[in-house]
Structure formats: structure tokens, C-alpha cells
């Protein structure tokens, strides 16, 4: 079967269904609510949100497939000539109730233009409120295993890319323990569209097992008021990155996407305390771990 933008979009829609089903089962309480939306310039999507669960305080699993004339801001940012565009993908952010459980994000996407330009992008990354080394190691092992199926160079290349991308420059710290990130995977890498698509699908299917592993044991940890306060401070760093640095947020807003869907990545409650300082050893150790280049698998 020929690989087309329509077949890619259909696979992403199924991915959204499968992940929502798995997350509802894992949460054990809350269900996703869905909003279908249309974009006046072309295309639309399905936004699904979950909140108030046993595990997930607020989260979203969004599918979109948008098209039309490429906005001038996008052309300038990507150094492209005017043509019609089509972009589809699935984006996920989950904010847990328990501060011991990490925030997780995944995005997988496809972009093409009527002039023949195409590429894939995406990645998965983890943002713990408390960095726990054995959990960080296990998370990165999931990603390395997926990458190694396609190239022995992928994991280290895309991990380094994630370290650089998920970096809160004005805080001089990484958003979390990273993961993998890749963008503009086209035919210039000497790989066919089918080969690139196979990799993207495998990354997408890594999300649920990696997340299940990340929350195991931690979801039942007891937490104190000080832990919740720290969680809200760390959520603030997450918000700062998404609103200041994240290219996906900017792309969605610049292409007149659905604002509620684009900003679903933001947590329900956040604190910004003036000149906040860590109060426990684990908080201080977490801050010390928010650096580029850490080899989590062999640390």
C-alpha cells in the first residue's frame, strides 16, 4: 500500500484511540472527553482531555490534521517558498496528581508541502519533579531499545538533540531528564519515507510501556505538603519552557490552530515563588541533575 498523507493521518487517529484506551485503564477512574474542531483555513482535529483521575490530574491526547496556504511566519522560520502545507500528528502531555510521578510528553508528526517537501518529527521526554536515577535509567533504556531497532546511532543522536531542545535557557537547566527528539527527518538522511515512518511508529508505540514503567511504584508513594509545593514550582519551569521556547506551541498558534488544544500541555495549578530555594536534599539533587549530557543508562 502506498504511503500517503491520508494513510499517515489515519494511523495517527488510531494511535490516539489506542493510547487513550490504555491511559484510561492505567488511571482506573477518569475518562477522556473529546472535542472535534475544524480549522477555517483547512483541516481540524480531535482533542481529548482527562482530569481528576487516580493517576492523572490533567492530561491531553490530541490528534490534528491541518492544511492550507503556509503562513508567512512558518515560511520565514523554515526558509521555504510559498506552497500549500499539510501537517498531522499526535501530541500528549500528562500531569500527575502525585508529585512523585513525572510529567511525560510525546509528539509524533508528519509535515508535507505541495512542492514535494516532506519530513517527520517527534520524540518522547520525561520531566520528573524528583529525579530518581533508577527510573531515569529505565526510561532511557526503553528509548534506546526502540532506536537501536533502526540505527545504532539514533539513540545518542536524538538524546543529544533532546538535551539541547528541552533546555530552559533563562534558567540554565534542562526541562527534565530529556529523552529523544528529532525533527525534519526527510530523504536527505538517505532513508526512504517508509523507513522514516517505521521509526516514527515504533517511537509512538514506546509511549505506553515507557509511561507504565515510569509510574510503577511511584504512583502509590505518600507525599507531604512540601512535596506538592515543590511540584507546583517545577510545573512553573515546564510552563516557562512551553510558552517561551517550544516550537510546537508557536507552530500551532501561528497556523491558527485550536488554542485550547495547543495549551492543553499546561498544568492545572502552578506556583512562582520569588527566589525559591530547594529545602531538601532530594530537591537539591534534582536541580543538580537538570543538565545536558548525562548518561542516564550508565550513570
Structural domain range at position 159:
5-288
DSSP H helix total and E strand total for the chain = 9, 9
Within a domain: 296: no
Name the domain count of the chain. 1
Within a domain: 99: yes
Within a domain: 293: no
Within a domain: 297: no
Indicate which CATH number applies to the domain containing 127. Answer: 3.40.1500.10
pLDDT band at 250 (very low <50, low <70, confident <90, very high): confident
pLDDT band at 247 (very low <50, low <70, confident <90, very high): confident
* Residues contacting 189, CB < 8 A, separation 6+: 196
Assess whether pLDDT exceeds 90 at residue 261: no
C-alpha grid cell, residue 210:
515507557
Mean predicted confidence (pLDDT) in 248-263: 82
Mean predicted confidence (pLDDT) in 243-267: 85
Within a domain: 295: no
Residues 24-66: tens digit of each pLDDT: 999 999 999 999 999 888 999 999 999 999 999 999 999 999 9
Within a domain: 299: no
Assess whether pLDDT exceeds 70 at residue 84: yes
Residues 144-201: tens digit of each pLDDT: 999 999 999 999 999 999 999 999 999 999 999 999 999 999 987 789 999 999 999 9
Within a domain: 294: no
**How confident is the model at residue 1, as a pLDDT?**
66
Within a domain: 247: yes
* Residues contacting 71, CB < 8 A, separation 6+: 254, 255, 256
205-221: b (≥16 Cβ within 10 Å) or e: ebbbebbeebbeebbee
Segment 69-74 long-range contacts (CB within 8 Å, at least 24 positions apart): 69/41, 70/113, 71/254, 71/255, 71/256, 73/254, 74/251, 74/254, 74/255
C-alpha grid cell, residue 185:
527527518
Q: How far apart are CA 97 and CA 100, in angstroms?
A: 9
Q: Phi and psi (nearest 5°) for 101? A: -90, 135
pLDDT band at 9 (very low <50, low <70, confident <90, very high): very high
Q: How far apart are CA 278 and CA 283, in angstroms?
A: 5
> pTM score > 0.75 for this model?
yes
SS3 50: strand
Q: How far apart are CA 288 and CA 272, in angstroms?
A: 20
Q: Which residues are catalytic?
A: 105
Q: How far apart are CA 248 and CA 77, in angstroms?
A: 12
56-69 and 118-127 strand pairing: unpaired
Q: How far apart are CA 181 and CA 128, in angstroms?
A: 17
Amino acid at each position: 500500500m502506498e504511503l500517503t498523507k491520508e494513510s499517515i493521518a489515519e494511523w495517527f487517529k488510531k494511535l490516539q484511540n489506542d493510547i487513550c484506551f490504555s491511559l484510561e485503564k492505567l488511571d482506573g477512574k477518569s475518562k477522556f472527553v473529546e472535542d472535534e474542531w475544524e480549522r477555517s483555513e483547512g483541516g481540524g482535529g480531535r482533542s481529548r482531555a482527562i482530569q481528576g483521575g487516580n493517576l492523572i490530574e490533567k492530561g491531553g491526547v490530541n490528534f490534528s490534521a491541518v492544511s492550507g496556504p503556509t503562513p508567512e511566519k512558518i515560511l520565514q522560520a523554515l526558509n521555504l517558498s510559498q506552497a500549500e502545507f499539510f501537517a498531522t500528528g499526535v501530541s500528549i502531555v500528562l500531569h500527575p496528581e502525585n508529585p512523585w510521578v513525572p510529567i511525560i510528553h510525546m509528539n509524533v508528526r508528519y509535515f508535507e508541502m505541495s512542492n514535494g517537501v516532506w519530513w517527520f518529527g517527534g520524540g518522547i521526554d520525561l520531566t520528573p519533579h524528583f529525579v530518581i536515577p533508577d527510573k531515569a535509567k529505565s526510561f532511557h533504556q526503553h528509548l534506546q531499545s526502540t532506536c537501536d531497532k533502526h540505527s545504532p546511532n539514533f539513540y545518542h543522536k536524538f538524546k543529544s538533540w533532546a538535551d539541547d531542545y528541552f533546555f530552559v535557557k533563562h534558567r540554565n537547566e534542562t526541562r527534565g531528564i530529556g529523552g529523544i527528539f528529532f525533527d525534519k527527518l526527510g530523504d536527505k538522511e538517505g532513508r526512504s519515507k517508509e523507513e522514516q515512518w517505521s521509526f516514527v511508529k515504533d517511537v509512538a508505540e514506546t509511549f505506553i510501556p515507557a509511561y507504565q514503567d515510569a509510574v510503577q511504584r511511584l504512583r502509590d508513594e505518600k507525599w507531604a505538603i512540601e512535596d506538592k509545593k515543590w511540584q507546583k514550582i517545577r510545573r512553573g519551569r515546564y510552563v516557562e519552557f512551553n510558552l517561551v521556547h517550544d516550537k510546537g506551541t508557536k507552530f500551532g498558534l501561528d497556523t491558527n490552530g485550536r488554542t485550547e488544544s495547543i495549551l492543553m500541555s499546561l498544568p492545572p495549578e502552578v506556583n512562582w515563588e520569588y527566589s525559591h530555594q530547594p529545602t531538601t536534599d532530594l530537591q537539591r539533587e534534582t536541580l543538580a541533575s537538570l543538565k545536558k549530557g548525562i548518561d542516564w543508562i550508565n550513570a
